[in-house]
Structure formats: structure tokens, C-alpha cells
Structure 1
Amino acid sequence: MGMCGRFAAELDYPEIAQILHAQPSAGLPGKSWNVSPTQTIAVIGQDAHGVNHLASAYWSLIPPTAESKKLPYPTFNARIESALDRPTFAQAARHNRAIIPVSGYYEWTAERKPYYFHAKDNRPLLLLGLYSWWLSRERANATWLLTATILTRDSVGIAAQVHDRMPVLCDPQHAQEWLDRSVSGDKILPEASAYGARLSQSLLASHEVAPLHGDGPELTEPYDEMMLRF
């Protein structure tokens, strides 16, 4: 699994909507502790009228020009350093920026040991991302599909002990500027990456977990505590 390819989403949507001044949509995904690419996730994005929305999205960004949902390369992550230069992500990076709330995310060492990263106080993590609308013509009736990707950067702090990349973190104080479609991407992406690095060093905690199988809150429990049960 690639960088930031699994996360947990034990989320209180009304609370997140209130914190990020967003209007929640119907049909948001249920709780899961093993969310993987191409599944439905919750994202916050801003519309053309400056209104924030909390909505469901397909986790893997599909650019508007794509003819099929199945792309020849993975798009569940995008490097924040190059997003503005990549045709797949450039349009979204300029104006369609998103926040993906998670309760924590998983990463693997080179030896394939999984670790769970979460906030020290267990508040939801706000991951920076991008969104794109894609017109699906795979069925008789064309439908619009909201799609999204999670932005990553070079790891710092405890995250660097596990993997060389990490998701870019945000906080509620900086979320509105990130979502603001009138703010140019070339201005805000470098600033957001630098701030995310500083935030992660004070916010993140981590512990090793058992190999991920199935779904349930036990997936986020420390590996050594689970072993004591046997």
C-alpha cells in the first residue's frame, strides 16, 4: 500500500461541520477503521459562492478530462510540492482545495510493520487535499462524481521514523484560508506545507498496531496491548 493509503474515520460529522463552518450533506459514510482508496470518504470543500460543504467523495481524484474512473496510475495521494505542475492535479490545486477529516491514519515501515498516527488528544486530524468533479458516463445516465486526493509532503518528527512521506496537516484556524477558492494555489500550497510540518511535530502521536484485517476499533489498538490478551 502506498503512502497514506489507509486511515480510520470514527467521526462526529455535526461537530466537524460546526468547526469548519460547513453545511453537511446527506449520505455521509459510516464509521470505519480501515478506509482504503476508491472507497467513499468525507471531505470539506468550498463552492463557487464561498459556502463550505461536508460531503461524500470517491477517494482517488479523477480529473475532469478522464474518460474512465480507472486511471493507469494511483491518485489517492498527491505530492504537495508538485501538485500545481501535474496535469492531473493542477486545476484542483489552483482552486479546488479540500480538507479530509480522519481520526487517524496508518503507515508502514520498510519492514511492513504498521503504525497508527493520531492526535495526542485524539481530536480529529484535518488532512489537506484536493477535490475534482468528474462526469461519469459509465451508465445510461451521466452523473457527476465528487472525487478527492490527500496531499503529502516529506516526513518530519515521529512520522519520519516510519516513512519518508506523510499527509499534510491543518488546524481549524488555518482551514478557511486553505478552502478559500479566491486564494491562489501557488501562494498557499508552500505555506500550508511548511505549517503542516510544524503542526505535526506538536500534534502527532503514534504506536505500532497489528496487521490490518477486517474493520473495527481494535485495529487502532497498540500492538503490545493486543498481544497481552493471548
Structure 2
Amino acid sequence: MCGRFIDPNLRGTEVEHSELKIDPFPRRFNIKPTQDVLVVAKTPLVGMFARWWLVPSWHRGDLKDWKATTFNARIEDAKTKPTFRAVWRHGRCLIPGGGYYEWTGDKGAKQPHLIRSAGNEETLWFAGLASRWQDLLTCTVMTRAANDDVKAVHHRMPVMLNADEREAWLGGSDDVSLGEGARLTHHPVARFGIEDDGPELLEPIDP
């Protein structure tokens, strides 16, 4: 799963960022579900903000009435799930991140780990789905079975796409193997609270 992640470094020189012409915003290091996150979609690509917790367009009632846990969606079965099947066809997006967190250990003493790219490209491009509910754009991060790089930390991971896979995802690919080759590295970090933020959250500690 993916329940906390980091804003991408938009001050980088990656071609994707310069083409998007995204207005700078303060970088966050502890993004939580229901907060607004940067998503990239459309042709040509456009950056916009969406609430990280998908609400399907057909939901009736208030926002608080949507109780399902939909900040993640499984790539293996989202195509057929009532909540996601419409946006699987028409709501593809990318959600850039600078890394994400997972926890190990027993309840009450869980150890956070930062997971980042092990390649030359700093930004992780999560596969996402976006749904407009009333006037609110919402989104979810796709997940898949963890690969060998991170399965010691968690059995699931976000679907993270290379350049070719990003094009395929946005083009409507049904390939559930997307993202399995993501190259990742991880290290333990100091325990932090729900409201904590700042680059110090990224610092490695002795396990």
C-alpha cells in the first residue's frame, strides 16, 4: 500500500517538470490521505491538484459520507471494481513523488522506512486514477505486489512507472505488470508523528 509520501523536487531539471510549467509550492515530506497532491494528466500533460482519496462521480451525499478506503487501488482488480472501473477507462493520471514510507514491526513500536528511487531519476511516477466528484478532483495511487527491492519492508508497493510505462498507462494499457521493474532503495528513519514535516524526516538512522 502507500499511505504517506513526499512531494517531488520540482526544482530539478527533469524534462517532464520543465514541460509542465508547474507553479512552485512548498515541498511536503509527510503527505497524508485527504490532502491535495499534484497529479499530471491530459494531452499535452497538465499539472493540477487533487484530493488524495478517490470519490467516484456517482457518489450521492456529502463528502464525509464516502467511507470506503480509496486512497489506494489494486492494479490487479481495479478494472472490474465498481468504484474504479469508470476511471480505469477515462481517468488515468500520474502522481509524482520524491519517495514514500512504509512501516515494519509491532503495533505501538512500528519502524518507518523511507523508500526512494535507486536510479538516476529522483522522481517516482506513481500510476494513478482521477475522478471528479461534483467540483472536486480526487485521486488514488495504484498498488501492486512488491518486488525484491522492497518486499522485506512491505508486501505491496505503489505502481511506479518508467518513461515507456508512463506513456502506456496514460494511453489506457491494461497490463498489470506495469511497474514491477522499479528500482528502489530504502532505509529506516526516525519515528515521526502525523503532523511532523520537514526534510529531517528523510534522514537515515541506525536500525
TM-score for the superposition, normalised by structure 1:
0.79
- How far apart are the structure 2 equivalents of 1:14 and 1:131? 25
Residue number among 44, 55, 74 corresponding to 1:62 in the alignment: 55
Using the TM superposition, give the Cα deviation of residue 175 of structure 1 relative to its aligned residue in structure 2, in angstroms.
1.4
Residue number among 168, 193, 196 corresponding to 2:179 in the alignment: 196
Within 5 Å, which residues of 2 pair with 1:17-56? 18-19=15-16, 23-24=20-21, 29-46=25-42, 50-56=43-49
Using the TM superposition, give the Cα deviation of residue 221 of structure 1 relative to its aligned residue in structure 2, in angstroms.
0.8
Within 5 Å, which residues of 2 pair with 1:114-193? 114-120=112-118, 121=120, 123-135=122-134, 144-180=135-171, 183=172, 188-189=173-174, 191=175, 193=176
- How far apart are the structure 2 equivalents of 1:65 and 1:195? 28
Residue segments in structure 1 that go unaligned for 5+ positions in a row: 136-143, 226-230
- How far apart are the structure 1 equivalents of 2:26 and 2:84? 28
- How far apart are the structure 2 equivalents of 1:152 and 1:91? 18
Q: For 1:148-200, what per-residue CA distance to the aligned partner results, in whole angstroms no more than 9, with x for missing partners?
A: 100001111131101111101101233122113xx3xxxx23x2x423112x2
The match for 2:199 is 217
- How far apart are the structure 2 equivalents of 1:65 and 1:42? 23
What is the identity, as a one-letter code, of the residue corresponding to 2:68?
A: Y
- How far apart are the structure 2 equivalents of 1:41 and 1:4? 14
Q: Percent identity?
A: 35
- Supply the RMSD in Å over aligned alpha carbons: 2.2
- How far apart are the structure 2 equivalents of 1:84 and 1:6? 24
- Whether contact under 8 Å (1:44, 1:52) holds in the other structure is yes
Residues 1:157 and 1:212: Cα distance change in structure 2 (over 3 Å): same
Higher helix share: 1
Residues 1:216 and 1:96: Cα distance change in structure 2 (over 3 Å): same
- How far apart are the structure 2 equivalents of 1:20 and 1:96? 21
What is the identity, as a one-letter code, of the residue corresponding to 1:9?
A: D
What is the identity, as a one-letter code, of the residue corresponding to 2:164?
A: Q
SS at match of 2:206: helix
Q: For 1:47-97, what per-residue CA distance to the aligned partner results, in whole angstroms no more than 9, with x for missing partners?
A: xxx332111110011100112222112110001111011111111111211
The match for 2:7 is 9
Using the TM superposition, give the Cα deviation of residue 145 of structure 1 relative to its aligned residue in structure 2, in angstroms.
1.2
Aligned length: 199
Residue number among 57, 71, 79 corresponding to 1:76 in the alignment: 71
- How far apart are the structure 1 equivalents of 2:147 and 2:206? 25
Using the TM superposition, give the Cα deviation of residue 11 of structure 1 relative to its aligned residue in structure 2, in angstroms.
2.1
TM-score for the superposition, normalised by structure 2:
0.87
- How far apart are the structure 2 equivalents of 1:104 and 1:116? 7
- How far apart are the structure 1 equivalents of 2:12 and 2:121? 17
